[in-house]
Amino acid sequence: MNDIPEFSAVAGSIAALLGAVINQSHWSSRTKRMVSAAVAVVVAGVGVVSVFRPDTWTTVATAALATVGAAQVVYTAFAPVFRGIEQATTRSEKQEGEPD
Protein backbone atom coordinates (compact mmCIF):
# COMPACT_ATOMS: atom_id res chain seq x y z
CA MET A 1 0.00 0.00 0.00
CA ASN A 2 2.85 2.41 -0.70
CA ASP A 3 0.69 4.24 -3.22
CA ILE A 4 -1.75 5.59 -0.61
CA PRO A 5 0.05 8.95 -0.17
CA GLU A 6 0.07 9.60 -3.91
CA PHE A 7 -3.53 8.45 -4.22
CA SER A 8 -4.58 10.71 -1.35
CA ALA A 9 -2.87 13.73 -2.91
CA VAL A 10 -4.70 13.24 -6.21
CA ALA A 11 -8.01 12.35 -4.53
CA GLY A 12 -7.68 15.39 -2.25
CA SER A 13 -7.24 17.67 -5.25
CA ILE A 14 -10.30 16.18 -6.92
CA ALA A 15 -12.30 16.37 -3.68
CA ALA A 16 -11.39 20.05 -3.18
CA LEU A 17 -12.63 20.87 -6.68
CA LEU A 18 -15.84 18.86 -6.22
CA GLY A 19 -16.40 20.49 -2.83
CA ALA A 20 -16.10 23.94 -4.40
CA VAL A 21 -18.63 22.98 -7.08
CA ILE A 22 -21.13 21.57 -4.56
CA ASN A 23 -20.78 24.27 -1.87
CA GLN A 24 -23.01 27.31 -2.10
CA SER A 25 -21.56 30.73 -1.32
CA HIS A 26 -24.40 31.63 1.08
CA TRP A 27 -23.83 28.56 3.29
CA SER A 28 -22.07 28.96 6.62
CA SER A 29 -18.37 28.12 6.88
CA ARG A 30 -19.21 25.15 9.10
CA THR A 31 -21.61 23.71 6.53
CA LYS A 32 -19.04 24.16 3.76
CA ARG A 33 -16.40 22.37 5.85
CA MET A 34 -18.73 19.46 6.56
CA VAL A 35 -19.72 19.12 2.91
CA SER A 36 -16.08 19.30 1.79
CA ALA A 37 -15.01 16.68 4.36
CA ALA A 38 -17.87 14.37 3.34
CA VAL A 39 -16.94 14.73 -0.33
CA ALA A 40 -13.30 13.90 0.47
CA VAL A 41 -14.27 10.81 2.49
CA VAL A 42 -16.57 9.54 -0.27
CA VAL A 43 -13.96 10.14 -2.99
CA ALA A 44 -11.31 8.39 -0.90
CA GLY A 45 -13.55 5.48 0.03
CA VAL A 46 -14.74 4.82 -3.50
CA GLY A 47 -11.26 5.28 -4.91
CA VAL A 48 -9.46 3.05 -2.42
CA VAL A 49 -12.01 0.28 -2.66
CA SER A 50 -12.03 0.32 -6.46
CA VAL A 51 -8.27 0.74 -6.98
CA PHE A 52 -6.61 -1.07 -4.08
CA ARG A 53 -9.30 -3.55 -2.93
CA PRO A 54 -7.99 -3.42 0.66
CA ASP A 55 -8.20 -6.32 3.08
CA THR A 56 -8.78 -4.14 6.14
CA TRP A 57 -10.88 -1.12 6.92
CA THR A 58 -7.82 0.67 8.31
CA THR A 59 -6.48 1.16 4.79
CA VAL A 60 -9.70 2.90 3.79
CA ALA A 61 -9.68 5.01 6.97
CA THR A 62 -6.03 6.00 6.48
CA ALA A 63 -6.65 7.04 2.89
CA ALA A 64 -9.81 8.93 3.86
CA LEU A 65 -8.03 10.93 6.56
CA ALA A 66 -5.08 11.65 4.29
CA THR A 67 -7.45 12.72 1.51
CA VAL A 68 -9.33 15.10 3.82
CA GLY A 69 -6.00 16.64 4.81
CA ALA A 70 -4.84 16.93 1.22
CA ALA A 71 -8.16 18.52 0.21
CA GLN A 72 -7.76 21.11 2.98
CA VAL A 73 -4.22 21.95 1.84
CA VAL A 74 -5.28 22.25 -1.80
CA TYR A 75 -8.32 24.37 -0.91
CA THR A 76 -6.21 26.69 1.25
CA ALA A 77 -3.55 27.07 -1.44
CA PHE A 78 -6.11 27.88 -4.14
CA ALA A 79 -8.80 29.53 -1.99
CA PRO A 80 -9.47 32.48 -4.32
CA VAL A 81 -10.00 30.13 -7.26
CA PHE A 82 -12.29 27.83 -5.30
CA ARG A 83 -14.29 30.76 -3.88
CA GLY A 84 -14.81 31.92 -7.46
CA ILE A 85 -16.03 28.45 -8.39
CA GLU A 86 -18.42 28.51 -5.41
CA GLN A 87 -19.78 31.89 -6.53
CA ALA A 88 -20.18 30.68 -10.12
CA THR A 89 -21.98 27.47 -9.14
CA THR A 90 -24.26 28.98 -6.48
CA ARG A 91 -27.87 28.92 -7.51
CA SER A 92 -29.33 32.37 -7.20
CA GLU A 93 -32.51 32.89 -5.27
CA LYS A 94 -35.52 33.67 -7.47
CA GLN A 95 -36.41 37.34 -7.20
CA GLU A 96 -40.00 38.40 -6.56
CA GLY A 97 -41.91 39.04 -9.75
CA GLU A 98 -39.68 36.86 -11.92
CA PRO A 99 -41.46 34.26 -14.04
CA ASP A 100 -40.93 30.58 -13.20
Is 18:38 a contact under the CB 8 Å cutoff?
no
Domain assignment of residue 57, given as a range: 4-89
Is 99 part of a structural domain of the chain? no
Residue 57 lies in a domain: yes
State the sign of the Cα–Cα–Cα–Cα dihedral 68, 73, 79, 81.
negative
Q: Is there a domain that residue 14 lies in?
A: yes
Residue 85: inside a domain, yes or no? Answer: yes
- Residue 95 domain-assigned? no
- The C-alpha angle 91, 37, 93, rounded to 5 degrees, equals 10
Residue 98, domain member (yes or no): no
User: Residue 40 falls within a domain, yes or no?
Assistant: yes
For 53-99, write each residue's pLDDT tens digit: 888 999 899 999 999 999 999 999 999 999 999 999 998 765 455 55
The pTM score is 0.84
DSSP the chain: -TTHHHHHHHHHHHHHHHHHHHS-TTS-HHHHHHHHHHHHHHHHHHHHHHHT--SSHHHHHHHHHHHHHHHHHHHHHTHHHHHHHHHHHPPPPPPTT---
Encode pLDDT of 19-58 as tens digits: 999 999 999 999 999 999 999 999 999 999 998 888 899 9
Query: Rounded to an integer, what distance in angstroms lies between the CA atom of residue 50 and that of residue 70?
Result: 20
- Residue 74 maps to a domain: yes
Q: How many domains does the chain have?
A: 1
Give residue 6's pLDDT band: very low, low, confident or very high (50, 70, 90).
very high
